[in-house]
Amino acid sequence: MSKPQYCTQNNGQCATCSLTNYGLDCANNPVSRKPQQRRKDAFEQFAISQGVHNGPHTLSDLHQLRKEHKGSRWITIVELFKARGLAAKAQGVEIIDGSDVWVDSVGKLIPLDVLRRLNCEEVWQETTITFDGNLCDGNQYHNQGHLSSPMIGRDIAQCVPRDQWSQWTRKQVDYAEKWELAD
């Protein structure tokens, strides 16, 4: 874009000229301004310097907390905001910017919509445990080949030859969670 003939300042850069106002230049001609990003206010800059995430949802929540505690010092508000985040993080989950969740146990940032589609089904799994020679095992084992009475681990170790220990088993039922991603 060339410099307008009537321009006397700022080398023809109307978008940044101090005489430009309400989208018009100094001769009241329309000026096309590039949309500017919202400038962070001093409070946001302070919060970010104190380690607060700078996403729009996070900063919106921070401003809401500032309104709730009007008159408090900035550092007090920021520390309270961080403490709330740490309480959630202590449980292993932290929502970041309303669209993603940080899960410590996975070590990843997971989109919130994916987490909402997860289904958990409770299942019981039965496992066969073979006697391994543990003398402190107080569980009762049954001999697979015989209808003999059950024995605890200590008795098996004392009364049954070692080569026959694999015939003594017990059933163990454990609770498990089965996770699936719904469509």
Terminal Cα distance for the chain, rounded: 52
Does pLDDT of 33 surpass 60? Answer: no
Query: What is the H or E stretch that residue 123 is in?
Result: strand 118-130
Place of tokens 């106002």: 21
Domain ranges in the chain are 42-102, 119-181
Does pLDDT of 37 surpass 60? Answer: no
User: In the sheet where 140-143 sits, what is the strand order?
Assistant: 118-130, 168-181, 140-143, 151-152
Does pLDDT of 149 surpass 60? Answer: yes
| Token representation of residue 25 | 């230049």
- Which of 121, 79, 85 lies closest to 101, judged by CA? 85
Q: What is the pLDDT of residues 65-74, one digit of tens each?
A: 888 888 888 8
Does pLDDT of 17 surpass 80? Answer: no
Cα atoms found within 13 Å of the Cα of residue 144, Cβ hemisphere only: 12
Q: Residue 88 in contact with residue 101, Cβ under 8 Å?
A: no
In this prediction, residues 153-162 reach a mean pLDDT of: 86
CA 63 to chain centre: 22
